[in-house]
Structure 1
Amino acid sequence: MSARITPLRLEAFEQLPKHARRCVFWEVDPSTLPVEDHLADPEFEKEAWLSMVMLEWGSCGQMAVACEPDQADFTASASSGDEHCLGFAFYAPPRAVPRAALFPTGPVSADAVLLTTVGVESGAEGEGLTRALMAAVVGDLVRRGVRALEAFGRTAASAELTDPELVSPNLRSAIQSLGDCSADQCIIDADFLADVGFEVVAPHPYFPRMRLELEQGLGWKADVEAALEKLLVSAQLQQPVGAGASPCS
């Protein structure tokens, strides 16, 4: 079974994996909550955020869904609603991402869109599928005339931040957990960002801000898609089996 990348539509929200539906690490400022580390309905908050961004700005996500090999199309326009979700990516204008304002390496550049999340379900073909999702994000933003994509990366050294009480005040609000969302699983790995072309524009030992210029994005996208297509010819993405594989509907 192959993978097809499709822009995320609100009606496909239920297809997303459970954590992707519940994760509001980036979408909610924890300091605005009446009870620390608590949200009555994180899925509602995430869906409401997606609805708001889509209405005001447009597409803000890409989703990889399982399909038959002869249906594979990395620029497909929509999901039929009955496929398994294998991976996802979210991005938005930084003004729509409350957590972004809390990072010491902010603010995000005025000409950039913020990449918040890239995830692949356990059992999926990780590297190839993740790069295909990135290619879809880049392709979408290039078509819309966006100049750059930025992200806050998570370095290996950030694993030292295990005790919130020992974290410096300028980092505490940035990494504060929110329900089952935490910095170690909800911030993109800096090494991955570097591998796909991001460069550090605001250094930090734990959470550097990184940037991908999109002036050459179309060429980068074409290279990635060509490499992925070659990969899929020899070893098609397999439907996840066992732990970590959850149906999209």
Structure 2
Amino acid sequence: MSRRMGNLTLDTLDDLPRSCRSCVFWELSPDCSTSQPRSPGRSCAGDPGLDKEAWVSKTLLEWGSCGRVAYVDDMPAGFVTYAAPQHVPRASEFPSGPASADAAVLMTAHVVPAFASTGLGRLLVQAAAHDLSKRGVRALEVFGDARGEPGACVAPADFFRSLGFKTVRAHPHYPRLRMELRHLPGWGEGAGTIDAEVERWLASVTIVQRA
């Protein structure tokens, strides 16, 4: 039985949901895609799975940890990805961009349906923020979806506002929001705090059995 949160690596990449494993919306240059900001990206090479692997490998080597994956009883329950702006080509396409040079970009925060409404989304963002704070990153920025359209590659802006993100550039569809990592809102301080909260959450969650 395993209840843990680990790093996103080439070894854990296949644990992502299939649709996310093959989505390169954030990872590819806008020149590689003719899609709009709410649609999955397309691979220049025609193989998004390989492009995803290449992006993770390059980002890990050049920048460091770029994601966290939560597991409950060895079942992937959710994940979050993030990177420096230079590793997130899609961010330059948003009308409220580009992201600030002193911030990391939160790309994806996804929770599988069995663990929806459990607080895991908040915990994943919290884990990302603490990881980045320990590495000296000043802020975390995200492009939110003000319309909350289902199936989008951009998470709802209201979700991030509920976690303490503040709008730094308004837009009717895709506002850019920011959280200063020196003052994490109501999350305590230090790596021990987030580790303890992860343990408490993972120990309390049960898998929803579906017919």
Task: Please name the residue that 2:108 is paired with.
Answer: 117
Shift of 1:56: 0.3
Name which of 42, 67, 90 aligns with 1:99. 90
TM-score, normalization: structure 1?
Answer: 0.72
Task: Please name the residue that 2:206 is paired with.
Answer: 238
Check the 8 A contact 1:10/1:50 in 2, yes or no.
yes
Shift of 1:38: 4.6
Q: Give the counterpart letter for 2:78 in structure 1.
A: G
Shift of 1:66: 1.4
CA RMSD of aligned residues (A): 2.8
Structure 1 residue 147 and structure 2 residue 138: aligned?
yes
Task: Please name the residue that 1:50 is paired with.
Answer: 56
Deviates more, 1:125-134 or 1:189-198: 125-134
Residue ranges of structure 2 left out of the alignment (5+ in a row): 35-40
CA distance in 2, matches of 1:131, 1:191: 12
Q: Give the counterpart letter for 1:62 in structure 2.
A: R
Structure 1 residue 199 and structure 2 residue 205: aligned?
no
Secondary structure class of the residue paired with 1:217: coil
CA distance in 2, matches of 1:187, 1:133: 16
CA distance in 2, matches of 1:198, 1:220: 13
Q: Give the counterpart letter for 2:79 in structure 1.
A: F
Structure 1 residue 220 and structure 2 residue 183: aligned?
no
Aligned identity (percent) is 43
Q: Give the counterpart letter for 1:193 in structure 2.
A: F
Cα 1:29/1:138, change in 2 over 3 Å: same
Shift of 1:22: 0.9
1:196-230 Cα distance to aligned partner (Å, 9 max, x none): 11000001111000000000239625577777766
Task: Please name the residue that 1:21 is paired with.
Answer: 21
CA distance in 2, matches of 1:12, 1:225: 20
Shift of 1:104: 1.1
Residue ranges of structure 1 left out of the alignment (5+ in a row): 68-82, 160-182, 244-249
Structure 1 residue 186 and structure 2 residue 192: aligned?
no
CA distance in 2, matches of 1:231, 1:90: 20
Secondary structure class of the residue paired with 2:168: strand
Shift of 1:3: 4.0
1:62-81 Cα distance to aligned partner (Å, 9 max, x none): 000113xxxxxxxxxxxxxx
Cα 1:206/1:218, change in 2 over 3 Å: closer
Q: Give the counterpart letter for 2:76 in structure 1.
A: C
CA distance in 1, matches of 2:183, 2:66: 21
Task: Please name the residue that 2:175 is paired with.
Answer: 208
Secondary structure class of the residue paired with 1:186: coil
CA distance in 2, matches of 1:11, 1:4: 16
Bigger radius of gyration, 1 or 2? 1
CA distance in 1, matches of 2:172, 2:183: 29
Name which of 112, 115, 120 aligns with 1:129. 120
Deviates more, 1:116-125 or 1:190-199: 116-125
Q: Give the counterpart letter for 1:201 in structure 2.
A: V
Check the 8 A contact 2:30/2:89 in 1, yes or no.
no
Secondary structure class of the residue paired with 1:49: helix
Secondary structure class of the residue paired with 1:123: helix
